[in-house]
């Protein structure tokens, strides 16, 4: 029988909790360091708060690891390397890595919600991109662990030893996976430091690693801020540093390692060009532009932050882009309809707003759609700058926020020159109907990754890394393995 519900009657059913509900998440009040297979208190006795940038509420206290804690972690990693991990056959190492991947998959919802709470990125992104990709990296590299001699035929396979790994806040879990999975597959042991504002998913990963039965000391997670990362870089018994972060810190690390025998890979900043030719499918290209810079609040090293549009279609593209920007929904990152979540930290918001002011001062025309900015939390509306000069700061420096500069071009040569004219060289996007044009550009653009008629697509089998000040060394694919072998 159909019950008639009058206007004022409250329906008598409850909705089941949404996938994004936080009811299944258990956060500890305090997180210690994960060293030698145990949770240990930091030497300093100090803890720092991690907050939810969407509402500025504290989520938990995180241990501050100093040089003494790093030393303890490196010693544990060395012992595990010498006694267990370097001697274990690849097929046995693979079992652990597969187990970690499966455990991560089982707790994928938890990972996604915690990632969103701690970082401010939208649940759509953490649920559909970060977590599945992180799992896939573990699955992919698990597959290589017993096949290294096929990956590198006629070469003696030798691991490096203890790897110090330092990661940023924009893809906290994914960056941990990029670092840990290939290092384990190749037989190295690890000391990893997450970024100050986003330690929680690395700590949940530590719980899973513990649950997987991985021998103690093989993976150690030392949280911290300030000089914690430098303590890893400067530790005498670390054989390799794998760093992802800003170009500024990357340069400091390279200086610190000069003259040592430590191996290093640096994955640094970017100012990537997204290039639209007049024969491109315009509507798809507009989606690609939005996906390239506005989703994840522009917190993407390879964000398509410089748009180059062929002059004869520029007006049409800008008009369509503005219309699309009006439909973007900014707000609670845990809402699955949200397109633009919170900026990761107050400091980062200040930096972005500083660049927006610079852009206005430099004389570019600014456009921001009308957005309801939540009263609490760190938010920045998607921002467009039109008529930007090639030399302007907003077209040259990495902003790491939802800010897009637009320039026009007439010829292929002109756009290649403009696109290459930054200190960076991480990624680029090319939108055109002509295959020959794509191949022409891919050979001339100085960027590590070039997408054709799409943007921001990742796969564990595909290497990733930069030219120039975007760093050196590759992660992902076979290249990612060789970075952890002698
Ligand atoms: P960041 O400030 O360079 O920090 C990165 C990591 O390094 C953090 O864990 C940080 O710790 C640590 N650190 C800071 N100073 C250090 C030092 N002197 N020695 C050793 N470690 C140190 O970068 P971020 O702001 O977190 O991340 C954003 C940057 O990462 C952007 O430039 C982005 O383009 C880049 N990124 C690049 C890629 C790539 O694959 N190329 C991928 C993602 C991000 P604290 O957090 O405690 O300061
Ligand atoms: Mg946080």
- Which-ligand-closest: CA of 120? 2
3-state secondary structure of 25: coil
428 closest CA partner among 449, 407, 411: 449
Q: What's the 3-state SS for 43-112?
A: CCCCEEEEEECCCCEEEEEEECCCHHHHHHHHHHHHHHHHHHHCCCCHHHHHHHHHHHHHHHHHCHHHHH
For residue 352, report the distance from its CA to the centre of ligand 2, in Å: 18
Q: Which of 301, 398, 469, 475 is catalytic?
A: 301
Architecture of the domain whose range is 273-459: 3-Layer(aba) Sandwich (3.40)
Residues in the chain, total:
486
User: 30-268+470-482 domain in CATH 3.30.70.890?
Assistant: no
Tokens 């998440």, residue located: 25
Residue spans of alpha helices (H) in 310-382: 314-326, 346-361
Whether the CA torsion 163, 30, 128, 321 is positive or negative: it is negative
- Residues 334-341, mean pLDDT to the nearest whole number: 94
| Antiparallel, parallel or unpaired: β 263-267 and 471-472 | antiparallel
pLDDT tens, position by position, 268-293? 999 999 999 999 999 999 999 999 99
pLDDT tens, position by position, 295-317? 889 999 999 999 999 999 999 99
Could you check whether 30-268+470-482 and 273-459 share the same CATH topology? Answer: no
**Please, which residues have CB less than 5 A from ligand 2, an ion?**
50, 118, 197
Atom of ligand 1 nearest to the CA of 178: 40
Instruction: Give the model's pLDDT for residue 15.
Output: 62
pLDDT tens, position by position, 176-213? 999 999 999 999 999 999 999 999 999 999 999 999 99
Spell out the domain ranges in the chain.
30-268+470-482, 273-459
Q: Are 136 and 98 in contact (CB under 8 A)?
A: no
Look up residue 83 and give its two tokens.
């006694």
């Amino acid at each position: 029988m159909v019950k008639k519900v009058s206007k004022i009657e409250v329906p008598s059913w409850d909705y089941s909790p949404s996938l994004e509900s936080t009811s299944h998440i258990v956060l500890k009040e305090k997180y210690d360091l994960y060293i030698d297979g145990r949770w240990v208190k930091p030497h300093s006795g100090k803890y720092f708060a991690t907050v939810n940038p969407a509402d500025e509420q504290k989520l938990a206290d995180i241990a501050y690891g100093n040089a003494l804690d790093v030393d303890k972690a490196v010693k544990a990693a060395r012992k595990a390397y010498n006694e267990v991990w370097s001697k274990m056959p690849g097929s046995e190492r693979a079992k652990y890595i597969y187990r970690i991947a499966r455990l991560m998959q089982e707790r994928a919802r938890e990972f996604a919600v915690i990632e969103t709470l701690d970082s401010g990125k939208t649940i759509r992104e953490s649920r559909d991109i970060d977590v599945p990709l992180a799992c896939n990296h573990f699955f992919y590299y698990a597959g290589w662990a017993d096949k290294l001699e096929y990956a590198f035929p006629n070469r003696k396979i030798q691991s490096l030893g203890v790897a110090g790994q330092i990661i940023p806040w924009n893809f906290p879990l994914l960056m941990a996976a990029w670092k840990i999975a290939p290092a384990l597959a190749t037989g190295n042991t690890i000391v990893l430091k997450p970024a100050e504002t986003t330690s929680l998913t690395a700590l949940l990963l530590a719980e899973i690693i513990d649950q997987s039965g991985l021998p103690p000391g093989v993976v150690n997670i030392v949280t911290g801020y300030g000089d914690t990362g430098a303590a890893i870089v400067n530790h005498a018994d670390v054989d390799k540093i794998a760093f992802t972060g800003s170009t500024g810190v990357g340069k400091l690390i390279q200086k610190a390692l000069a003259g040592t025998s430590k191996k290093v890979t640096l994955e640094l900043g970017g100012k990537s060009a997204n290039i639209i030719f007049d024969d491109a499918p315009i509507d798809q290209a507009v989606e690609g532009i939005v996906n390239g810079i506005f989703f994840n609040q522009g917190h993407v090293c390879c964000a398509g932050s410089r748009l180059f549009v062929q002059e004869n279609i520029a007006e049409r593209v800008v008009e369509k882009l503005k219309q699309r920007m009006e439909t973007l929904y900014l707000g609670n990152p845990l809402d699955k309809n949200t397109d633009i979540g919170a900026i990761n930290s107050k400091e980062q918001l200040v930096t972005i707003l500083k660049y927006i002011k610079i852009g206005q001062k430099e004389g570019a025309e600014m456009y921001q759609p009308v957005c309801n900015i939540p009263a609490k939390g760190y938010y920045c509306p998607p921002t467009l700058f039109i008529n930007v000069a090639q030399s302007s700061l907003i077209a040259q420096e990495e902003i790491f926020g939802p800010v897009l500069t637009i320039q026009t071009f007439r010829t292929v040569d002109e756009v290649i020159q403009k696109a290459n004219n930054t200190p960076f060289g991480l990624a680029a996007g090319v939108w055109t109907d002509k295959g020959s044009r794509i191949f022409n550009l891919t050979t001339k653009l100085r960027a590590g990754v070039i997408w054709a008629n799409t943007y921001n697509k990742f796969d564990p089998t595909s290497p990733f890394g930069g030219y120039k000040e975007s760093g050196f060394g590759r992660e992902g694919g076979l290249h990612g393995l060789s970075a952890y072998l002698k």
